[in-house]
Chain A
Amino acid sequence: TMLPLLLLLLPAAHAVVELPYRPALTQTPPLEGLTTASTFVLDQPRCVFEGYDNADIWLVVALDKAASTFNNTAVPGTSETAFQGFPGRVPAYMTLNATLANYPCPTPAGDITVLRVGSETSCATDEARPTCNGPLPGPGPYRVKFLALQGSEPVAETDWSAPITLRTAKSPSSIATTGSGHSAGMIAITTILSILFAILLAGLVAMLVFWGSDSCGGSSTFSKPESVTVRRYNTHHVYDQPASRL
């Protein structure tokens, strides 16, 4: 009777602990490059894997639809979990290997503790580096989780994150550069100057018509005899007149 009980206990001893932590994109401080076309930034799992001092903590990255089919017994560093085969041959890859020493708890105030997924470009096509943290090949959406392995046995894992979608860039030819309206200033300048110029041209025409019919033109403009009669600017005549009256 002892043997069946022992057999029942063995699987329980090998169960993976599910930690109540969900990996998430970094909220503080606000980062401009939180998600780019091929990278995203996660918070480090600080104070999450307490007690697992001897475990290797791996990050598992999978496409949203492949997340549910991931098996915790997958071995990192093999071709089944190599970054270079993602996403065609490899539905989920494992990268960013760390130990608890890399994630000290508690976080010192003022430190920015983030993980940039996709930052290693040098090994992205190097098959000899299957655990490369290479740039993601498309906009996703992706889901990630942390998995702690002791030796090659999974001992603890976090929840899968919410789906993370990366940015897609549009083509610059989609930018509309025409169709900007005319400002009020430009319209004011155009209309007022056109009107002024038209008045001046009319004045010039009137002047030339005057010249053409010059005999009675000069004085008729100034109809009031007692006011300005700009008849003669010959100062001799003005001074002569009083003299002649005398």
Chain B
Amino acid sequence: MAKSDDYVHILQGLLVFGNVVIGMCGIALTAECIYFVSNPHGLYPLLKATENNDIYAAAWIGIFVGLALFALSILGIIGVIKASRTLLLVYIILMLITFAFEMASCITAATHRDSLTPSVFLKQMLERYQKSEPASNSDKELTKTWDELMLQNHCCGVLGPSDWQEYTSAFRLTHNDADYPWPRKCCVLDAQGLPVNLDGCKLGVPGYYNSNGCYGAISGPVNTHAWGVAWFGFAILCWTFCVLLGTMFYWSGIEY
């Protein structure tokens, strides 16, 4: 009997440890998702304009799942120590519901990330950047976001300044090709925000214009966001799976 007691204590200890880890990971998940939702790189208007901001929905779900995991882990610890069948049953069922939500969040984040190809941003930029009337609020937001993106990252267009030459655009409707082969923000600007050499920029002389595309500057943060939510959530769920299996095993052995 003493031996079985040891095993019981070991199992209890493992379950308590598992729940502690779940609680801490829940807090970490909440913190990470709050960080993403706070839009640190200013890319939210671009994603909103794709008519599909699932990545943000996934982050919002992550916040609440994280808090739920923390609360449930405390319930789990109490249930294991007290060896109470009802508490543990409630714990298992609520954990399964949380598992389902977190699973949805991970899959959504990963799927949405896959749909954000350069073509999506290119088409959006060409159709809406500097769109003249009728320009909705989201168009103006998008223009502002692109201007800041090009300014801060010293880049132009999605794949390069040739985007503005290869395709017609809303920008092209109001800015003729000879004066504006590409937007002024693509030029190397001085401290006052004026092009250092306007003719050099219009000609495309290396050094007076930004020749890189901005896709790298967009996909970097979006990837971090999506994979942060998806893979961290996946890791938590794998651990939770093990703890839940252990709890089910423990529960079925409790006599009441």
Contact = CB atoms under 8 A, between A and B. Distances in A.
Interface of A: 29-34, 36-39, 41, 112, 114, 116, 118-121, 135, 167, 169-177, 180-183, 185-186, 189-190, 192-194, 196-197, 199-201, 203-204, 206-207, 210, 217-218, 221-222, 227-233, 238, 241
Contacts of A39: 177-178, 181
B177 A175 contact: no
B148 to A, nearest CB: 22
B22 to A, nearest CB: 14
Given A112-B200, A199-B241, 5 more contacts: A112-B205, A119-B178, A201-B96, A218-B255, A230-B254
Contact of B227 (A169, A185, A201): A185
Contacts of A201: 96
Name which of A119, A170, A193 has the most chain B CB atoms within 10 A of its CB: A193
B208 to A, nearest CB: 10
A30 B134 CA distance: 38
Given A31-B205, A197-B100, A218-B253, A183 B178 contact: no
Given A171-B167, A175-B123, A200 B99 contact: yes
B172 A231 contact: no
A176 B119 contact: yes
Contact of B203 (A114, A172, A203, A221): A114
A75 to B, nearest CB: 26
A116 B252 contact: no
Nearest to A116: B203
19 contacts: A33-B204, A36-B177, A37-B177, A112-B200, A120-B178, A169-B165, A169-B167, A174-B167, A177-B120, A186-B114, A189-B230, A193-B106, A200-B96, A207-B248, A207-B251, A217-B252, A218-B252, A221-B253, A232-B255
Contacts of A173: 123
Nearest to A235: B5
Interface of B: 1-5, 7-8, 11, 83, 89, 92-93, 96, 99-100, 103, 106-107, 110-111, 113-115, 117, 119-120, 122-123, 126-127, 161-162, 165-169, 172, 176-179, 181, 199-200, 202-206, 209, 211, 227, 230-231, 234, 237-238, 241, 244-245, 248, 250-255
Given A203-B248, A204-B96, A189 B253 contact: no
B119 A38 contact: no
A38 B2 contact: no
A221 B111 CA distance: 41
B166 A170 contact: yes
Contacts of A170: 166-168
A169 B255 contact: no
A204 B237 contact: no
A230 B177 contact: no
B253 A36 contact: no
A63 to B, nearest CB: 19
Nearest to A32: B204
Contacts of B204: 31-34
Given A31-B204, A186-B107, A193-B234, A172 B254 contact: no
B181 A33 contact: yes
B178 to A, nearest CB: 4
Given A192-B234, A200-B245, A41 B110 contact: no
Given A172-B123, A172-B169, A193-B106, A29 B206 contact: yes
A241 B111 contact: no
Nearest to A172: B126
Contacts of A190: 107, 110
A114 B199 CA distance: 11
B92 A36 contact: no
A204 B167 contact: no
A182 B123 contact: no
B172 to A, nearest CB: 7
Name which of B2, B89, B103 has the most chain A CB atoms within 10 A of its CB: B103
